[in-house]
Structure 1
Amino acid sequence: MMNKKINRVAVLGSGIMGSRIACHFANIGVEVLLLDIAPKELSEEEQAKGLALDHPAVKNRIVNAALQNTVKTNPSPVYTKTVLNKITTGNFGDDMAKIANYDWIIEVVVENLDIKKKVFDQVEQFRKPGTLVTSNTSGIPIHMMAEGRTADFKANFCGTHFFNPPRYLRLLEIIPTLETDPKLVDFLMHYGDKFLGKTTVLCKDTPAFIANRVGVYSIMSLLHLVEKMDLTVEEVDKFTGPALGRPKSATFRTTDVVGLDTMIKVSKGLYDNCPQDKAHDLFKLPAYVEKMEANNWLGDKTQQGFYKKTKTADGKTEILALDLKTLEYRPQQKVKSATLDLTKPIENVKDRMKVFASGKDKAAELFRASFFGLFEYVSDRIPEISDELYRIDDAMRAGFAWDLGPFEVWDAVGIADAVEGMKKYGHEAAAWVHEFLGAGHTTFYKVEEGIKKYYDIPSKSYKAVPGTEAFVVLDNLRGNRTIWKNSGASIIDLGDGILNVEFHSKMNTIGGDTLQAINKAIDLAEKEYRGVVIGNDGANFSAGANVGMIFMMAVEQEWDELNLAIRMFQNTSMRIRYSSIPVVVAPHNLTLGGGCEFSLHADHVQLNAETYMGLVEFGVGVIPGGGGTKEFALRASDEYKDDQIVQNALKDRFLTIGMAKVSTSAVEAFELGYLQKDKYSISMNRSRLIADAKAKAIELADAGYTKPVQRKDIKVLGKQGLGIVYAGANTMYSGHYISEHDKKISEKLGWVMCGGDLSSPTEVTEQYLLDLEREAFLSLCGERKTLERIQSIVTKGKPLRN
């Protein structure tokens, strides 16, 4: 692999994609130059100020406005606002010469070959030989952009197609031309995976590459089936959403978010450029979509698409759905489905596929009609768009956020059964599939000794999925490497003396089973292993403690049992910190309440860049009771400096819990004080998280890990701190910012963090604070308003402000 370092990136074009790509490079610490055209005329505001066209503020107006608008979008394209310091803006006229000092130049201007060629003329003029140049086009063949360029430009040029929004969608398609240096391709595949956190997929230079070719086929096929099967917008979104392992926004809501015009553009491009495609006619727009286009009903960007947000007479927001027959908006209708009901108790998405395939209602019928067509389509696309089937699955999972790619769904349904079923729907699998079945094979994928292998069509044999050697996938280890399990968690041997505790409760909530598993793993590791990782492959690391259990105990007034349960939670957090082996916690996505408390007590936190961490117990009417309040008091104590007002450190820590602040990224989790300097590392690619955590546990063990000593020197402020806490809570209550119950919880939190009403600042032990924390938690569980809050979360999934 070539030895390149990417320290500085120039992004040419500051539209929606250009600005967001610039933000994501800034997220990972790269210096970015973002350029765009200079305006040809003054705005009214500029005229009023008496500015001329050559004024720097005017020349950079387009690029600066684009970047500012991007940063305001939700969800945010940046991990934290401070990363924007890494981005410098400019314009093509004044600043193009600066690209000579940049390691990678990414073109993201409009989808017009002539305009792109003009930009590349300028790039050729200023770039240094050997500089990497890529285009983020989604519709123009890559080789056409390289025509007429120098040999050095061609060798260092290819397509790098990011998906929008680049921070959140994990796909990066790499599209080389015949003249691209193969070493450059290897470099980009690795760089995208390791540093940008992407699933990098190598594509051929074919129309729409892989993800959009298959994804737009899938959407267009659905749009035609809707008419044929007389389905409503709500039915389709219900049948093609989370139950199927797809995002909540499913089909039509996603189209509204992305923009109907984007989908139309890609489908028209495929219709024009793929005349030999067997599904060619499917890329024609159904009549109702043509009418929507004519009406400019393009989704969120035009305030209406398949859905429309309106206000009712009493001022409430209502989302209406489009009736596809009459093209009029009407209130949404409830959708019922026996097949969906049958899938509800099934946690594993793969296991739901057979239920869909054999169901008897509309949801099952739509599944068969759409997937049988998709199976034919993807089997026909090999070797046109990819020689390997796993690349198609990777592209669909990462680009369209599907839990399972088409070949994985086919495996789950049963290949031979599906091939038979396809015939009834007028579909035929490609010849290589029949040959594959004839040779006695039954699945496209299999796991051998923890390694996932795919069926390689040219060699007619199974090969390891390349690039995954660096990943630890718990799914592939579960069978013979599970050494202990209960209903809430499993202990899996990762090899090299490291154990992993994997949660598998709903939303990975923490109950007695989970605590038992963590303690068991530490027991085992202290006797015959070297370290423990707490991590899982679920959608979220953990939504916190099982509040349903707390609610039951509190309602039944089983105070002794509840006291024991909280004590066990606290003891487990303390065991994570004070065991004789290193414990590394590996959070990702939601890491709330107890999940956050485990992270607070870890020897090291190896977390994914997309980690949303917080102590959110206030929302259910309690304070953090698994060691979180104690830990924040301890950290505040460590921040007290003689030359500063010590109450400020206490106030900051108090407000983080009191306002239930949740980080929007791993970087922000550090800024909020959930992570400590030198005790955390970020894995950009979620697929590498468990492997990175394992490596960290080994590193700590190899460095001669010794058991830390419990703290007895935690400075608490007693009455001096309580006065500030109580006065603050009172002011907030008087100003109607918080309710009377919030005031009570605030005072309990302050009581613990200040160590009670001690007459002067005093040094206390961790156990002293844990006892206060548990006492406060228990007393709040006896409050009617706390129980109402917990009940609202348990029954409706919504926080209650009372």
Structure 2
Amino acid sequence: MSYYVQKAAVLGAGVMGSGIAGLLASVGIRVVLLDVVPNELTEEEKGKGLTKESPQFRNKFAIAALERILNPKTMMLYKKESAALINTGNMTDNMDMISDCDWIIEVVVERLDIKKQVMKEVEKHRRPGSIVSTNTSGVSIREITKDMPKEFRQHFLGTHFFNPPRFMRLFEMIVLEDTLPEVKECIVNLARNTLGKGVVFAKDTPNFIGNRIASMSSAEVLRLMIRYDFTIPLVDQLTGEVMGKAKSATFGTADLVGIDVFTNVAGNVINSMDDPKEKELFTHPGFVHELVKAGALGNKTKHGFYKRISKKESMYWDYKEKEYKPYLPTVPEAVKKALASDNKFAAIVYGEAPENKFIWDHTKALLLYSSAKVPEITEDFKMIDKAMKWGYNWEKGPFQIWDAIDPQRSIARMKDEGESVPAWVEQHLKDNGGCFYNKDTGIDFAYINLSNQGAPPVAANEDATLRDIGDGVLCLEFHSKGNSISDKTMEMLRTATEELKKDWIGLVIGNRSKNFSAGANLVGIATLAKERKWDSISEHVKVLQSVNMALKYAPKPVVAAPYGMTVGGGAECVLHSSYAVPHAELYMGLVEVGVGLVPSGGGCKECLLRSAERAGGATSKSLLPVLRSAWRGIVTGSVSANAFDAVDKGFLRQETRIILNPDALIDEAKKSVIELASKGYLPPKPSKVLLLGDYGRAVFFSEIEGMRGGGYMSEYDMHIAKKIAFILTGGNAVNGTLADEQYILDLEREAFVSLCGEEKTQERIEYMLNNGKPLRN
């Protein structure tokens, strides 16, 4: 039997159910969203004349969920139009709505008796062959369906999304003995390729993989903190960036998610365990439960492990004195040394300072526990690493950390300290050259790997590498700081376009980092501006412009694979590519105004050209409203909320194919290069563009005065906005003039150089470099 998902039902319209429904609708799957019928009418509902039979009352929870999904602040949808695919109802009157659904997802309260009752109702209304899954994070999958018919069990599995479903990649799948292989394959393909999830296969054990390992790790941190007599802020310094975790570390993260949630997740494991030693591993010290009892739950109650007094002042909970105390964040010397080393993991684990010993004890406990749970919670240790990276944003999973600190050295120390290492670990290391992972291929073998072995270099320098990714396709990988467009990066962009004159069929511009590109190298610009080297700045801009034009008119297709922050010069690189295959989470924009500058690598030019395309005509009247929208975006430094929004903003073309699986991004971009080449790709022909001249400029200047008068712009913002308007309307040209691209590029360059000479621009650049955020002076 062939399985597919075109329509899904989500049973349970809470925060998680809403998030799942929003994600499914965002990718084009029709959704039925149902919840229970409320018990009683509120006084407000009675005042509106509603009765217990009113659909508005009976569907109240699902209707509220749809409103939540539509709220832009929740970011549950990529585009609001997708909400039209969601139909609401309730689980008493409308279970017939699931009869034509291909996938039915249960997301109700975490109680076995309620979940079993829901499954009985699902069985009455589902069509045979439809897939059913539970999103439980703590209830036994097997227990939920043990009394259900075999056909039901054959189409049943666990599918644990992490919250929020749009942003969290981890998707834990629990397949039981009766689950058909075709059912598993259908949901795996859907999760990976359509929803963009990282799928890990877990066994039906308490809290599965991610929450199990994370809860144990956090409980161990709490125990060690008390044993070492460390403070909460010190422990957060030790368990954050230096160990490849979020800066919020242990206690800041607990405040963020809620200390009650933090303890409940551990409680789920404790309540499901029979082994007293295992229960003890997950037990939190008394002071944590005291905070929960006192209502100190973290950020949502404005105090928890920390208490924010002002933007610059915080206090922490002294668990011994039972009071909040002020503190100034200080970084221990051991952490400073580790962060400055080539291998921060080994540097922080091996040392004589108390902080080093704390981290060793914690790391040892994490590694031994994780390895002891193979094969109990999963057959493959790599699943644990993936779960922690995708579900908790760890830089490295436990076994990757083990590789980083030298498995042989660490195991010898563990044994000296009386610990036992699972036999499978030593056997695996023996069979695999002394490490858990092959250093060239890494954690995942399914996708193109940008390593010397997976993609040999054709040319390289300090900031970029040009690689052969097979089938005649090149890939240019940025690896400068922030993937910024430096002089070295531009040099490799030039090399790439020269290589395209040879036997290669095309080029991908892509990388695997936190962001595609943070834009221009501001340090170099700031230095030249301070030294008043205006000719050097002008020449720098000329080179950037010529490189981007070479990309645009390259003889072979150039496909960009942007993701994450793609701003300034990074956005201009994408704008000049033949085609883009972006990840859905794309935050793209021309943000130069934040540092007192204008886009100068052809960004303004491309916005003008694309506005003319979108206007669909060669008249000033049709061009003006579209160009005004583009001008506003540049003036306000607007960044797309996602790739779909980037299409709406004109940064990407309507036919752009958007990818949700970030691991597949370079593979998909490569496919696009091959497809374009197979169709006989020809570069675009240079064309002229209509200029609005004084007519358009008068309109824009009038709007600028209004924005300044309304307090939306500083005087210097207004100055920059006028320069951008001057460029987009063609400088001193009259309305109706036709100009080539070089004319607009010259206007960009002149404005950029002149602004570099202004004190307020230099202040903005300096502020951004020192503080990481814009100055509005």
Residue 535 of structure 1: which of 510, 526, 530 is its match? 510
Cα drift, residue 637 of structure 1:
2.2
Spell out, residue by residue over 1:229-254, the C-alpha distance to the aligned partner (whole angstroms, 9 max, x if none).
Answer: 12222222222223322123221122
Residue 394 of structure 1: which of 386, 393, 399 is its match? 386
Q: Matches of 1:501 and 1:277 in 2, distance apart?
A: 54
Cα drift, residue 435 of structure 1:
3.7
CA 1:558 to 1:731, structure 2 compared with 1: closer, same or farther past 3 Å? same
The residue number in structure 2 matching 1:377 is 369
Bigger drift between 132-141 and 566-575 goes to 566-575
The residue number in structure 2 matching 1:775 is 750
| Residue identity (%) | 38
Cα drift, residue 439 of structure 1:
5.9
**SS at 2:654's partner residue?**
coil
Q: Matches of 1:741 and 1:528 in 2, distance apart?
A: 50
Cα drift, residue 39 of structure 1:
1.3
Cα drift, residue 421 of structure 1:
2.3
CA 1:191 to 1:441, structure 2 compared with 1: closer, same or farther past 3 Å? same
Cα drift, residue 489 of structure 1:
0.8
In the alignment, structure 2 segments of 5+ residues that lack a partner are none
Bigger drift between 634-643 and 144-153 goes to 634-643
Residue 580 of structure 1: which of 528, 547, 555 is its match? 555
Residue 396 of structure 2: which of 382, 388, 404 is its match? 404
The residue number in structure 2 matching 1:549 is 524
Q: Matches of 1:438 and 1:800 in 2, distance apart?
A: 56
Aligned residue type for 2:489: T
The residue number in structure 2 matching 1:637 is 612
**SS at 1:490's partner residue?**
strand
Cα drift, residue 645 of structure 1:
4.8
**SS at 2:200's partner residue?**
strand
**SS at 1:93's partner residue?**
coil
The residue number in structure 2 matching 1:660 is 637
The residue number in structure 1 matching 2:568 is 593
The residue number in structure 1 matching 2:128 is 129
Bigger drift between 495-504 and 522-531 goes to 522-531
1:219–1:251 contact (8 Å) kept in structure 2: yes
CA 1:551 to 1:45, structure 2 compared with 1: closer, same or farther past 3 Å? same
Spell out, residue by residue over 1:639-682, the C-alpha distance to the aligned partner (whole angstroms, 9 max, x if none).
Answer: 3445955321121111011111111211111111110122x221
The residue number in structure 1 matching 2:294 is 295
Question: Pairwise mapping of residues 301-450 of structure 1 onto structure 2 (< 5 A)?
Answer: 301-311=300-310, 318-345=313-340, 351-423=343-415, 427-437=419-429, 441-447=433-439
Equivalenced residue count is: 775
The residue number in structure 2 matching 1:681 is 657
The residue number in structure 2 matching 1:765 is 740
Q: Matches of 1:408 and 1:752 in 2, distance apart?
A: 51
Q: Matches of 1:777 and 1:439 in 2, distance apart?
A: 59
CA 1:657 to 1:440, structure 2 compared with 1: closer, same or farther past 3 Å? closer
Bigger drift between 245-254 and 270-279 goes to 270-279
* 1:163 correspondence with 2:162: yes
CA RMSD between the two structures: 1.9
Q: Matches of 1:437 and 1:40 in 2, distance apart?
A: 59
Q: Matches of 2:355 and 2:491 in 1, distance apart?
A: 40
The residue number in structure 2 matching 1:457 is none
Aligned residue type for 2:288: V
Cα drift, residue 451 of structure 1:
4.4
Question: Pairwise mapping of residues 734-753 of structure 1 onto structure 2 (< 5 A)?
Answer: 734-753=709-728
**SS at 2:500's partner residue?**
helix
The residue number in structure 2 matching 1:460 is none
Q: Matches of 1:513 and 1:684 in 2, distance apart?
A: 31
Bigger drift between 764-773 and 247-256 goes to 247-256
Cα drift, residue 506 of structure 1:
1.2
Aligned residue type for 1:410: W
Q: Matches of 2:429 and 2:253 in 1, distance apart?
A: 36
Residue 669 of structure 2: which of 669, 679, 693 is its match? 693
The residue number in structure 2 matching 1:491 is 466
Q: Matches of 2:282 and 2:206 in 1, distance apart?
A: 13
Q: Matches of 2:396 and 2:331 in 1, distance apart?
A: 24
Cα drift, residue 78 of structure 1:
1.9
Aligned residue type for 1:652: S
Spell out, residue by residue over 1:474-494, the C-alpha distance to the aligned partner (whole angstroms, 9 max, x if none).
Answer: 14646x712221111111111
Bigger drift between 148-157 and 257-266 goes to 257-266
Question: Pairwise mapping of residues 120-269 of structure 1 onto structure 2 (< 5 A)?
Answer: 120-269=119-268
Spell out, residue by residue over 1:1-24, the C-alpha distance to the aligned partner (whole angstroms, 9 max, x if none).
Answer: x63221111100011111111111
Bigger drift between 779-788 and 426-435 goes to 426-435
2:18–2:66 contact (8 Å) kept in structure 1: yes
CA 1:278 to 1:502, structure 2 compared with 1: closer, same or farther past 3 Å? farther
Aligned residue type for 1:192: A
* 1:709 correspondence with 2:701: no
TM-score (norm 1): 0.93
Q: Matches of 2:330 and 2:120 in 1, distance apart?
A: 55
1:566–1:774 contact (8 Å) kept in structure 2: yes
Q: Matches of 2:69 and 2:225 in 1, distance apart?
A: 35
Aligned residue type for 1:254: T
CA 1:72 to 1:759, structure 2 compared with 1: closer, same or farther past 3 Å? closer
Q: Matches of 2:605 and 2:433 in 1, distance apart?
A: 57
The residue number in structure 1 matching 2:19 is 20
* 1:63 correspondence with 2:57: no
CA 1:438 to 1:160, structure 2 compared with 1: closer, same or farther past 3 Å? closer
* 1:603 correspondence with 2:578: yes
1:526–1:580 contact (8 Å) kept in structure 2: yes
The residue number in structure 2 matching 1:91 is 90
Bigger drift between 608-617 and 275-284 goes to 275-284
**SS at 2:657's partner residue?**
strand
Aligned residue type for 1:387: E
The residue number in structure 2 matching 1:458 is none
Aligned residue type for 1:628: G
Q: Matches of 1:277 and 1:214 in 2, distance apart?
A: 18
Cα drift, residue 298 of structure 1:
2.1
Q: Matches of 1:286 and 1:543 in 2, distance apart?
A: 43
Q: Matches of 2:308 and 2:54 in 1, distance apart?
A: 42
Q: Matches of 1:551 and 1:574 in 2, distance apart?
A: 25
Cα drift, residue 424 of structure 1:
5.3
1:411–1:444 contact (8 Å) kept in structure 2: yes
Q: Matches of 1:345 and 1:710 in 2, distance apart?
A: 49
Cα drift, residue 345 of structure 1:
4.4
1:372–1:421 contact (8 Å) kept in structure 2: no
Aligned residue type for 2:389: R
Bigger drift between 237-246 and 695-704 goes to 237-246
CA 1:494 to 1:42, structure 2 compared with 1: closer, same or farther past 3 Å? same
**SS at 2:99's partner residue?**
helix
**SS at 2:475's partner residue?**
strand
Cα drift, residue 69 of structure 1:
3.6
Q: Matches of 2:588 and 2:241 in 1, distance apart?
A: 23
**SS at 2:92's partner residue?**
helix
Q: Matches of 1:671 and 1:608 in 2, distance apart?
A: 15
Bigger drift between 39-48 and 779-788 goes to 39-48
Q: Matches of 2:346 and 2:501 in 1, distance apart?
A: 43
Q: Matches of 1:716 and 1:440 in 2, distance apart?
A: 64
Q: Matches of 2:442 and 2:756 in 1, distance apart?
A: 47
CA 1:569 to 1:438, structure 2 compared with 1: closer, same or farther past 3 Å? closer
Q: Matches of 1:131 and 1:345 in 2, distance apart?
A: 54
Q: Matches of 1:368 and 1:78 in 2, distance apart?
A: 42
In the alignment, structure 1 segments of 5+ residues that lack a partner are 454-464
Q: Matches of 2:69 and 2:247 in 1, distance apart?
A: 24
CA 1:714 to 1:437, structure 2 compared with 1: closer, same or farther past 3 Å? closer
Spell out, residue by residue over 1:685-743, the C-alpha distance to the aligned partner (whole angstroms, 9 max, x if none).
Answer: 111111111111111111111122122x2001100011011111112112222111111
The residue number in structure 1 matching 2:456 is 481
Cα drift, residue 179 of structure 1:
1.3
**SS at 1:305's partner residue?**
coil
Aligned residue type for 2:423: A
Cα drift, residue 499 of structure 1:
1.1
**SS at 1:499's partner residue?**
strand
2:259–2:304 contact (8 Å) kept in structure 1: yes
1:542–1:592 contact (8 Å) kept in structure 2: yes
CA 1:730 to 1:276, structure 2 compared with 1: closer, same or farther past 3 Å? same
Aligned residue type for 1:602: S
